[in-house]
């Protein structure tokens, strides 16, 4: 593990210690939780759009929460039940709500690399601009971290803030470098961000620019991209 990887890990552990929570991504409903669901949560998990419409017409709470603060929309998104997502939105479910770990449906779909559900959510009016997660990040930052280039492109097109800085002092562009592996997926992610006009000059907390970070990690293709962007 090189120095930058150790620093990245230490930063994540430090934030975890402050919150008293283990570092993890979103938590999907377990099989046991899903088995206990009733009403809209059960219908959302099963993708039963007709049941959703019936329950909504009867006055069911479209934004009810389970034990982890997940709404039926969160559950449908975790389960990739796009018919349920559509039915919930049509019935008037709120698209911007955060669950207990502060993730919205857009970020859940983005982290899962679920481009189809993300496309649907955005078409229904869900926002790509929300501040989410315990790191005060965005769906774009989360997707860039994971090298989900297709998701990144969708979020950029939907107006996601390109240069949002999270509480680790990282942007989406920086995360594509320091939390990526320098391979094709993260290269494509970095290219999408650079082409969209994301800042290549915003530095991390220690003052290191994306170019310096890419050089220190030996990510030659990323270095080429960033040097070309600097020369423009």
In whole angstroms, give the CA distance from residue 142 to residue 132.
9
Tell me how far CA of residue 197 lies from CA of 21, 55, 151, 173, 200, in angstroms. Answer: 35, 45, 17, 10, 9
> Which neighbouring-strand residues pair with 111?
none
Q: What would the pLDDT profile of 35-46 be if each residue is shown by its tens digit?
A: 999 999 999 999
What's the pLDDT score for residue 181?
97
> Is residue 13's pLDDT more than 80?
no
As a whole-number percent, the residues of the chain with pLDDT over 90 amount to 88
What's the pLDDT score for residue 24?
55
Q: Which residue has the tokens 């993730």?
A: 103
Q: What would the pLDDT profile of 153-208 be if each residue is shown by its tens digit?
A: 999 999 999 999 999 999 999 999 999 999 999 999 999 999 999 999 999 999 99
DSSP 28: P
In whole angstroms, give the CA distance from residue 27 to residue 34.
13
In whole angstroms, give the CA distance from residue 139 to residue 61.
26
CATH 2.40.50.180 fits 26-127, yes or no: no
Predicted confidence band at 26 (pLDDT cuts at 50, 70, 90)?
confident
- Give me the phi and psi of 45, to 5 degrees please: -65, -35
> Is residue 217's pLDDT more than 90?
yes
Residue spans of the domains in the chain: they are 26-127, 135-232
- Structural contact between residues 124 and 95, judged by C-beta atoms closer than 8 angstroms: yes
In whole angstroms, give the CA distance from residue 34 to residue 103.
19
- Give me the phi and psi of 52, to 5 degrees please: -60, -45
Report the candidate in 81, 90, 70 with the shortest Cα–Cα distance to residue 44. 81
Average pLDDT of span 51-78: 98
In whole angstroms, give the CA distance from residue 47 to residue 83.
6
Q: Do domains 26-127 and 135-232 have the same CATH topology?
A: yes
CATH 3.40.190.10 fits 135-232, yes or no: no
DSSP 35: H
């Amino acid at each position: 593990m090189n120095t930058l990887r150790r620093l990245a890990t230490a930063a994540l552990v430090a934030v975890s210690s402050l919150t008293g929570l283990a570092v993890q991504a979103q938590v999907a409903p377990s099989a046991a939780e899903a088995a206990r669901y009733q009403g809209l949560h059960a219908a959302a998990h099963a993708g039963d759009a007709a049941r959703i419409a019936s329950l909504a017409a009867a006055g069911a709470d479209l934004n009810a929460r389970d034990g982890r603060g997940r709404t039926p929309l969160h559950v449908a998104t975790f389960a990739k039940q796009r018919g349920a997502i559509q039915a919930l939105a049509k019935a008037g479910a709120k698209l911007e709500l955060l669950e207990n770990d502060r993730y919205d449906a857009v970020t859940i779909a983005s982290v899962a690399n679920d481009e189809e559900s993300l496309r649907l959510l955005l078409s229904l009016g869900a926002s790509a601009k929300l501040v989410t997660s315990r790191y005060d990040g965005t769906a774009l930052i989360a997707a860039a971290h994971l090298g989900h280039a297709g998701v990144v492109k969708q979020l950029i097109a939907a107006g996601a803030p390109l240069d949002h800085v999270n509480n680790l002092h990282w942007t989406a562009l920086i995360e594509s470098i320091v939390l990526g592996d320098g391979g094709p997926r993260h290269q494509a992610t970095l290219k999408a961000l650079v082409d969209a006009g994301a800042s290549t000059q915003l530095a991390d907390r220690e003052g290191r620019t994306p170019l310096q970070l890419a050089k220190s990690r030996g990510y030659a293709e990323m270095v080429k991209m960033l040097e070309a962007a600097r020369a423009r």
